[in-house]
Amino acid sequence: MRLFVNLLFMVLIVGWLIRIPLNRLQVKNLQETFSLLGKEGSLITGAQKNILKGSCIVAIAVDNEGIVKKVMYLKGYTVFARFKEYNDFDGMTMQEVLLSCPETSNNPLYRAIRKALLAALKQKG
């Protein structure tokens, strides 16, 4: 029994140590994506946490007129998740995107987009 506990403890430590560089890769991916979108226009970010469907982080580039230039999202449970492009809203105004993302949607991506845009519009005045 003691051997099993020691082995389990070692596996947990090794797993935790492996997770550290993987987290750094994910943060690097996040920074690169934010930098890329920042060059497209103003950057708006949002997140939606969901234990069952996985968390979703969204980054939206918007120009000065409120037109969405690019949307990228990171969705998943693990450090292996990477940002992906979402082109359905490119060229739409922020208000049009909000109308396309229903309040009652269970889709974590739509909920994250909605949160980000509502916060940006509220801040804008």
Query: Quick one: pLDDT at residue 125?
Result: 65
Per-domain residue ranges of the chain:
2-124
The runs of H, that is alpha helices, within 41-124 are: 94-100, 108-124
pLDDT higher than 80, residue 48:
yes
Q: Give the architecture (CATH level 2) of 2-124.
A: Alpha-Beta Complex (3.90)
**Can you give the pLDDT at residue 93?**
92
- Cα distance between residue 83 and residue 74, in whole Å: 4
* Residues 91, 96, 102: CA angle, nearest 5 degrees: 130
Instruction: Show contacts of 14-23: CB within 8 Å, 24+ apart.
Output: 19/79, 22/79, 22/80, 23/79
List, for residues 81-114, the tens digit of each pLDDT value.
Answer: 888 999 999 999 999 999 888 888 888 889 999 9
Alpha carbon distance 31, 66 (integer Å): 23
Q: What is the mean pLDDT of residues 2-16?
A: 90
Residue 41 confidence (pLDDT): 86
- The set of residues, in sequence order, having a beta carbon less than 8 Å from that of 116 and lying 6+ positions away, is 44, 45, 46, 58, 60
Which of the four pLDDT bands, split at 50, 70 and 90, describes residue 51? confident
Share of the chain above pLDDT 70, in %: 98
User: Taking 80 as the threshold, does the pLDDT of residue 80 lie above it?
Assistant: no
What pLDDT was estimated at residue 60? 95
pLDDT tens digits for 106-122?
888 899 999 999 998 88
Which pTM was predicted? 0.81
Tell me the average pLDDT across 26-42.
Answer: 89
